[in-house]
Amino acid sequence: MNNSKRRVVIAGIVGFSLVAAACGEDEGAGDAPTTPAPAETGVPTETDGPSSTEGGGELELAGGEVFVTGSSTVEPISVLVSELADELSGGQLAVTVEGPGTGDGFQKFCAGEADVSDASRKIKDEEAQLCADAGIEFVELEIGIDGLTVATSPNNTAVECLDPAALYALLGPEAEGFENWSDASTIAAELGSAHGEFPDAPLDITGPGPESGTYDTFVEFAIAKPAEERGQDATTRPDYTQSPNDNLIVEGIEGSDSSLGWIGFAFYKAEQDRMKAIGIDTGDGCVLPSAEAVADGTYPFSRSLYIYVSTQSMADNPAVASFVDLYLSDQGIAEVTEAGYVALPGDRLEATRAAWSGAAG
């Protein structure tokens, strides 16, 4: 990494304002939603509240290079912040972002090969142990909220809402070999699904694979409990079109009139005129994903988004701390909603900034 000592003073960016935030995985850089455009950053303006340094109102950006890997869900946010860093530093703070998936990202991060790891779920115990074994310490920072969206084609008018039992019947390990939606009806009935009347239509499934945090979260939300009840492994059926590229998953969902798949909320939101979200019923009625439902937790498949920062990278490379300072500034954290996700409530954003302030000293 380039540990340049050059510093670019960016007047008016407030790094740790405690003003409440408004609520409203994956190879390469091609995984960002295709519709949302990058934010227009313009000239930073003065905001109220303390800056990242106790006495001043300026954020200093160190020149250098930063490497970010991990979740393709979080990738669009980090890309926007990297573009902001490039603009505000005049190209001196260069951030490279990739999105191979949360799991693959942690493998690199815990091997000391990345400064920051994007994640659409919390780090697993075994991943944290990999980091510990390699001497990699980190700080976990919640940066936004996502609504994992189960979707189909707008032409699939027979399916409007599903519950975990129905999702297990369609996508769980016992569904292997099912080629038609109606093939899953017996399992759905055995599980007592309220939404198990499936159409007699081809079941064309596209979704993320096991390297993805979105896959892990879906298994947690929809598969794990029914699998336990039936003595099955908590995993999906293997025989569907898996992709590490979210845009390819979107194309798969849009490409069949009787499709089924799951994707992050931002990718659905960018294409909601060409795909249909399926309501989720966990016992309180069917709820569709929306910014409001994701923010207040009424959408059952809501989840937190994170970045993990290597404290060793932060100590060795001033550019890493600069990037994270910018990420958590008012201007940087606004990229969460610009990317199509949901802003943290004010108290949770304050907790994130406090955690970073404590780690950064």
Domains and CATH numbers, the chain: 7-144+306-360 (3.40.190.10), 149-300 (3.40.190.10)
Give the pLDDT of residue 229: 96
Q: Which two tokens stand for residue 142?
A: 């919640």
pLDDT in tens, 171-190: 999 999 999 999 999 999 99
pTM: 0.83
pLDDT at 33: 55
Distance CA 10, CA 58 (A): 6
| Sequence-separated (6 or more) residues with CB below 8 Å from residue 171 | 205, 207, 222, 223, 236, 237, 240, 260
pLDDT value, residue 60 = 83
Q: Residue 215: which of 244, 191, 193 has the closest Cα?
A: 244
Question: How far is 177 from 183, CA to CA, in rounded Å?
Answer: 9
Give the residue ranges of the chain where pLDDT is below 50: 1-32, 34-57
Helices (H), the chain: 75-88, 102-110, 125-133, 164-171, 185-190, 213-218, 224-229, 246-254, 265-270, 291-296, 311-316, 318-328, 330-333, 335-338, 346-360
